[in-house]
Amino acid sequence: MQYKLLVSLILLLCSHLLSAQILKTYTINSGSVCSSEESLIIISALEIPELASANVKKLTLLSVLKNKAQPIVFQVDHKDTQGRYILNNNHSESANINSFNDYDELVFRKKDRGLRLSTSSELLEKLSLIEIKIIDESADTEQKKIIGWVYIALNAPFDFRLKKQVVSYKAEQDIFTSPLFKVLFSKEKPFLVDAFHWRLMEGTVDMQWSPDLTDTMKIRHIGNFFGFPFKRTDDDYSSKLVNVKQGPLRIIRRTENKVKVFWKLKSPALYIDYVMMPDGFVMDSIIDIPFKISFFFSDLATITTMDWNNTFEQPALAIHSPEKRLNLPVNGRPSENKALFNKIAAQKFSLSSQQGLFVVELDISDNFPIHSQLYLNDDLQTIDPPENYPGQFGNVGFKTTGWENIDSKLHHLKFTVCVDRYK
């Protein structure tokens, strides 16, 4: 009886110690932008009120592995009230750049999650921690839902941040490199991806990178201007790289772009943020139209695609529609099924090869009154000016319509590309 009472008192003491040192426990869904082994978990400061006004420079993230608490790589990215990333100190809302604001994001790798900290850990005597329980809401049992734990130390009395660069960026060449792939951006039009290379598996003797898989990224605007046919292409754009934020897990690069409209109409302001991650990227287009489009235009459509490279011997490419209703070989020859692909109203498709998988998704907010359908032109006999690439090889992406219905507010249109190698 006395032994049971003693055990109960010890458990009560440990529980009191935990509640005193663990400031609060939060449950975060592991759902990330992509879903590979290299994926990132992104937490908004709104999800963890204790982060409000926390000193970013004194922040540390810990994971319990092999019975020891270890620092893990993380990144803090600041955002303003309109959802735009704050990339420099010239921004009007950058006064509190060293502290957490409501819209800021805390980023770490999913694979760095660990076990739950023991109540007897010495770490609890040194630090006050926020405990993050990471769950997978898609799991079929409660036991499987919990997939790991991460701890946030707001004011660590010593510096044991892990200084490790998972992704890299070379400014002179405008090249992004991750554990899975490498992207080169266009020198002339830096809002366009100019090359994509897979990182080859370890043990490859001849080269570290695959050949460039792409011909070119394309954007087309078509419709009517006062009833007359209207078309704009990449040639009608001016583009400049205005800012880059380099972090250990994400590189955020911003371009300022203008498209020639007509006569004295002021060009729409188009800022494109590429958020480059270890297993993909988000192309966040921030659109500000200075006039009411429907006054001048009708039946406006935008076609955004990537044309692939058929000039070298490569593993066969295949395009898959949503839920894999259509599996289309990329061979430069039209077919009935490829024509059918263009009639699918959807915001997602995938492209596969023996080297890996691309999953491409378009995110349209509820207050953005445009509609999306899939687009494919796989015909080596078709020339598509103004680029000087002969034919079209798996030129695939999205066609969006209804642009004449949008207002002059600030809008976000996001393209997400996730990549992963086959296991």
The side-by-side arrangement of strands in the sheet containing 181-185 is 168-170, 175-177, 181-185, 193-198
- The answer to whether 281 and 181 are in contact (CB under 8 A) is no
- Ordered per-residue pLDDT tens for the chain, 423 residues: 444 443 343 333 334 334 437 889 999 888 788 988 889 999 988 899 888 878 888 888 999 887 788 899 999 999 988 888 998 755 555 556 678 888 899 999 999 999 998 876 776 677 788 999 999 877 666 666 888 999 998 876 555 566 789 999 999 999 999 999 999 999 999 999 999 999 987 655 556 898 899 999 999 988 887 778 888 888 888 999 999 999 999 999 999 998 877 655 556 678 999 999 999 999 999 887 766 776 677 788 999 999 998 876 556 899 999 877 899 999 999 999 999 999 999 999 999 988 899 999 999 988 888 999 999 999 999 888 887 788 899 999 999 998 888 877 778 899 999 999 876
Q: Pull the structure tokens for residue 260.
A: 């020639």
The whole-number pLDDT of residue 15 equals 40
The span from the CA of 311 to the CA of 213, in Å, is: 9
pLDDT at 39: 93
**Four-residue CA torsion sign, 134, 54, 167, 91:** positive
When computed from its CA atoms, the radius of gyration of the chain, rounded to whole angstroms, is 25
What type of residue sits at position 146?
A: I
Asked whether the beta carbons of 45 and 101 are under 8 A apart, the reply is yes
- Give the pLDDT confidence score for residue 366 in this predicted structure: 82
* Residue entry with tokens 């978990």: 41
Provide the pLDDT for residue 20: 39
